[in-house]
Structure 1
Amino acid sequence: MSEFLALPARLYQSFPEYIPPLMLDRRGVLDPQKAPFFEHGEAQYWLARRDGNAVGRISAQIDHAQLGGDFTEAGLIGCLDTIDDVDVVRALLSVAEAALREKGCASAMGPLTLSMNTEPGLMIQGQDEPPMIGTSWHPAYIAEHLDACGYRYAKDLHYWRIATDSKAFQALRDRPKIQGRLKGHTIRKLDLKNIAKEAQIIREVYNDAWQNNWGFVPLTDADLNAMSTDLKPYMRPEWGAIIERNGKAVGVAVLVPNLYEITSDLGSNPSPWGWIKLLWRTVFHKFTSGRIIVLGVRSEIKHTVGGAVVAMSLVEKLLDELTTYQPRSAWVEAGWVLEDNTALVRLLEQFGFARTRTFRIMRKNIAAEEAETRD
C-alpha cells in the first residue's frame, strides 16, 4: 500500500509543475482502513512492474452511493499514474476492466480518485497552475494513452478562479452589496463549536441542491466527518456561510484553505523538522488561496430569482471574508463545475471568475469489447 501511495511522487519527480501531496493525506483518501469512501464503496488496486520496478498503478472501484443516469451499470477506474508508455497503460486498464466486468459492469468511467466527491477526472488543462487542495495532477500523455485504449470523452469539469487584486474583483467591491436584497433571510458564519450539527445542515442542503446533477453522489456522514476532522485545525467560522429563512437553511457555502501553501516544500514524507514546520504553520500561517468546495441552494428555490440572489450572496460573503482575513493579494477557486452547468457558470462569470483547470471524465464500453474478443 505504501508503494502504491508513493508511486506518483516518484514517477513525476522530473516534472517541475508537480507538487506531491502528503502521504498522510493520500492514506486518508485511498487506504481502506482510513478512507471514508469504503463506507459506501469498494476498490481494488494494482501495480505494474517492469524489471521489478513499479512503473504504473490503477484502481477499479464501485461506488454504491453513485446514482444512475450515465453511470448506470458503470464501474469506475482511478489512481491511473504511469510512465509514458501506452503498453503499461493498456496492461493496467486490462486488469481493471476485467475486475469491473466480473462485478457485472458494462462500462468503465473515470479516472476518479476514488469518487465524484473526492478528486474526479483526468487533468486535461492546468498542469502549470499552482497546486490546489483536492485536485489531482496528471501529465498530458495519459490522456493520449487512454484515447489509444478506447476511452472517449464523457464530460468536462472546470475550476474557476478570481484574484482579489484583479480589476474584476475591484469592480465587484465597488458595486452595491447583493446581500442587501436578501429580504426575510439571515446569513451567518459557521459555528465550529458545533461542527457536527453544521455538517448535517451542509449535507442536507448540498444533497438537495445537486441531486439531479450529472454524476451526483450524495455526501454521506462518513464523507463529512472525515472532511470536518481533517480541516477543522485550519478552518475559520467566516469561511462558511449559511443562509436561513424562518430558521431553515436554504443555502450553504464552504471555503477551505489551500493546504499546499504550508506543505508544498515539505515533500510527501516530511522529516521530523518538516513536521515541526507544518505544526508552526498550522497555527500562524495566513492563507492566500482557497477553494469553494460546497455551494448549494435548495431545489425549491434553485431556479428562481430568489435562489439566484441566495447563491450570489453566498459567493459574495465568502469573498468579503477572504479579503478581510487576508488584505494582501489572494485568490480563490470554485470547483468542480460541470461544463454545461449554465446557471453556475454565468454566476461565476458575473463575479469575474476565469476558468483555470479542466478535468475530463472518460468512458469505455467494456462489455462490447469482451463480446468482440469472444467472437
Structure 2
Amino acid sequence: MSVIIKKVTSKDDLMKFIQFGIDLYKGNEYFVPPLIYDERATLNRSKNPAFDHCDATYFLAYRDGEIVGRIAVIINYKSNERWNQKHARFGFVDFIDDEDVVDSLFGAAESWARSRGMEKIHGPLGFTDLDHEGMLIEGFDRMGTMATIYNYPYYQKHMERMGYVKDKDWVEFLIQIPPEVPERFSRMGEIVKKRFGLTVKHLQRKQDVYPYAREMFILINNAYKDLYGYVELSDKQIDYYVDMYIPMIRLDFVTLVLRQNDNKLVGVGIGLPSMSDALRKAKGRFLPNGWYHLYKALKGNGHNGVLDLLMIAVDPEYQGKGVNALMFNEFIPAANKLGMTKAESNIELEDNSKVHSMWNGLEYEQHKRRRAFIKNI
C-alpha cells in the first residue's frame, strides 16, 4: 500500500501524533516516554509562547489506515535572525523502518519549509533548547532519561540515505558518585568562594525558590547564548517554564551560587532523582496512576540509584573558574543520602570543553552520543 501523508489539523490528530511516538517503542526496555500532557502543551499554539516567534506544522504518515510515522517541522524566526540563516527544524520525529515512509515524511517537511523560503532543514530540534533535541546514534542499550530522545538504531541509516549529514553532536556521560566529596572539590570550593566573593544559597522551602526563578532563566540565557541553536527565552517563555519546572524541583538538588556584594545569581545547578522508571510505569499518562509513580520518584524512591543532572549554568564571567565545585559539594552529600551511586550528565555539545572539564577528578564514561543532522533543501 502507498504511504499517505496527512497534516495534523485537530485535537484528535494531535493526540494520535503524540501517542504514536510512545506506541512505536512498546516493549523496548530502554525507551522512556514523555508525559502526554507536557507534549500536548508544547505542540499547542495557544499554550506554548514560542509560537510568538515560531511557525510549525505536524505530519502523520499512514499506510493501510495505520499510522507509521510522524514529524514536526518548525521555523524559529527568532533563531534565524540570531544566527543569520534560513533554517527550518524538524523534531518529534518517529517512523517504522521503511524507506517509503521516511521519504514521504521528510519530503512533506522539506516541501513545507521550502515553500516558506527556507534553505536548509536541521534537527531533531524543538522550539527551544529546553525541548528534546538530538538523534541518538550511540548508546541504544542504555536507559533513556526524562530530558532526552530515545530512537531506534535504524534512524541514522535513513537520515544518511536521504543526504542528511552531521551538523553537531552532543555527548552524555555516566558519572560515578563518590561516597564523599573529593578533597579536590572541597578545596576548590573554598578557594572560589574567597577569591570571587561567592556564597551558596540554601533554600528551606519551595516558596524560597520563586524569588530566584526568573533570574535562573535569565542566567541560562546568558550562559547558553553562544551555544549551538540556542535562542534567548522571552519573558513569556520564562514565565511558562517557571510554571512548568519549579513545582517539580527538590530543594536538596538545587544549588544557587550568589555574588555576596550584590546578591547576583552567577551559578545554578538543578538535579532530580531519575524519573525514568516512573515515566515508564506511567506510560505517558499522569492519570489515573501515573501521578503516584512520579510523586514517589520525586520523593527519592524508585530512582534506580541515578541522579539526573538537568541543568548547570554559570555566568560567562565565572565560567572555567571552578564554580561547578560549589555545586558538586552540595549534590554529592544529597545524592549519597538517597543511596544514589551514578549521575547522568544529559546532553553536552561534543566541543564544549568547559563543560566536559567539570567531570575531571571523577570516574565517568561517555556512554551516549546524539546528532543534529542538516540538509540543503
Is the pair's TM-score, using the shorter chain for normalization, greater than 0.5?
yes
Superposed CA deviations along residues 286-329 of structure 1, whole A, max 9, x for unmatched, are 34433223222222232xxxx522133223322333223x1x13
Q: How big is the shift at 1:61?
A: 0.1
Match of residue 229, structure 2, among 189, 193, 215: 215
Q: Equivalent residue for 1:37?
A: 50
Q: Equivalent residue for 1:289?
A: 306
When normalised by structure 1's length, the TM-score is 0.85
Tell me, yes or no, if the aligned pair for 1:119 and 1:136 is still in contact at 8 Å.
yes
CA spacing shift, 1:8–1:363, aligned 2, 3 Å: same
Equivalences for residues 129-148 of structure 1 within 5 A: 129-148=142-161
Tell me, yes or no, if the aligned pair for 1:67 and 1:217 is still in contact at 8 Å.
no
Match of residue 17, structure 1, among 19, 30, 37: 30
Tell me, yes or no, if the aligned pair for 2:122 and 2:374 is still in contact at 8 Å.
yes
- Aligned partner letter, 1:59: A
Which runs of at least 4 in structure 1 moved beyond 6 Å after TM superposition?
A: none
Give the whole-Å Cα distance in 2 for the aligned partners of 1:227 and 1:3.
25
Give the whole-Å Cα distance in 2 for the aligned partners of 1:79 and 1:114.
11
Match of residue 150, structure 1, among 159, 163, 167: 163
Match of residue 277, structure 1, among 284, 289, 292: 292
Structure 2 residue runs without a partner (length 5+): 1-13
1:75 partnered with 2:88: yes
Q: How big is the shift at 1:86?
A: 1.6
Q: Equivalent residue for 2:268?
A: 252
Give the whole-Å Cα distance in 2 for the aligned partners of 1:240 and 1:292.
10
CA spacing shift, 1:94–1:17, aligned 2, 3 Å: same
1:267 partnered with 2:283: yes
Structure 1 residue runs without a partner (length 5+): 367-375
Give the whole-Å Cα distance in 1 for the aligned partners of 2:56 and 2:296.
35
1:331 partnered with 2:342: yes
Give the whole-Å Cα distance in 1 for the aligned partners of 2:171 and 2:314.
20
Paired residue secondary structure (2:351): coil
Q: How big is the shift at 1:333?
A: 1.7
Q: Aligned pair count?
A: 355
1:101 partnered with 2:118: no
Q: Equivalent residue for 1:372?
A: none
CA spacing shift, 1:144–1:338, aligned 2, 3 Å: same
Tell me, yes or no, if the aligned pair for 2:273 and 2:298 is still in contact at 8 Å.
no
Q: Equivalent residue for 2:373?
A: 362
Give the whole-Å Cα distance in 2 for the aligned partners of 1:32 and 1:61.
12
Superposed CA deviations along residues 257-305 of structure 1, whole A, max 9, x for unmatched, are 3323323123234663x24634762675534433223222222232xxx
Q: Equivalent residue for 1:343?
A: 354
Tell me, yes or no, if the aligned pair for 1:243 and 1:251 is still in contact at 8 Å.
yes
- Aligned partner letter, 2:230: F
CA spacing shift, 1:25–1:194, aligned 2, 3 Å: same
CA spacing shift, 1:69–1:283, aligned 2, 3 Å: closer
Q: How big is the shift at 1:142?
A: 1.0
1:319 partnered with 2:332: yes
Give the whole-Å Cα distance in 2 for the aligned partners of 1:12 and 1:176.
41
Give the whole-Å Cα distance in 1 for the aligned partners of 2:21 and 2:133.
17
Further displaced range: 348-357 or 334-343: 348-357
Tell me, yes or no, if the aligned pair for 1:196 and 1:225 is still in contact at 8 Å.
no
1:199 partnered with 2:207: no
Q: Equivalent residue for 1:180?
A: 190
User: CA-atom RMSD, angstroms?
Assistant: 2.5
Give the whole-Å Cα distance in 1 for the aligned partners of 2:331 and 2:299.
21
Give the whole-Å Cα distance in 1 for the aligned partners of 2:97 and 2:200.
50
CA spacing shift, 1:221–1:258, aligned 2, 3 Å: farther
- Aligned partner letter, 1:238: D
When normalised by structure 2's length, the TM-score is 0.85
Give the whole-Å Cα distance in 2 for the aligned partners of 1:189 and 1:355.
31
CA spacing shift, 1:339–1:265, aligned 2, 3 Å: same
Paired residue secondary structure (1:47): strand
Paired residue secondary structure (1:120): coil
Give the whole-Å Cα distance in 2 for the aligned partners of 1:64 and 1:352.
42
Q: Equivalent residue for 2:3?
A: none
